[in-house]
Amino acid sequence: LCPICLRKLQCAVGFNIRDRYQALVRWIDDESADSAGVSREHRREDHVNLPKPVEAFKEWKEWIIRCLAVVQK
């Protein structure tokens, strides 16, 4: 989304973009530390043994971190 559309969505839905980006970075980092790819909670709850698709997000992690730096100023 462009910055204007992102701001409109943020106001309409009522979320904090900084918190969302921080959570996304944590989610990517948690997956990197998890060698199995699926947490035990998810195995038990979902009965599906599928890894989170974080590989697609890893290349965007640096961009998200740069966005966080701008948002936090």
Q: What is the mean pLDDT of each run of 10 residues along the chain (73 residues)?
A: 86 91 89 52 58 77 90 82
Rg (CA), the chain: 15
Measured from the Cβ of residue 31, the count of other Cβ atoms closer than 10 Å reads 19
Domain boundaries along the sequence of the chain: 16-71
Q: Tell me, what's the pLDDT at 72? A: 83
Q: Tell me, what's the pLDDT at 35? A: 44
User: Which SS3 state, helix, strand or coil, does residue 20 take?
Assistant: helix
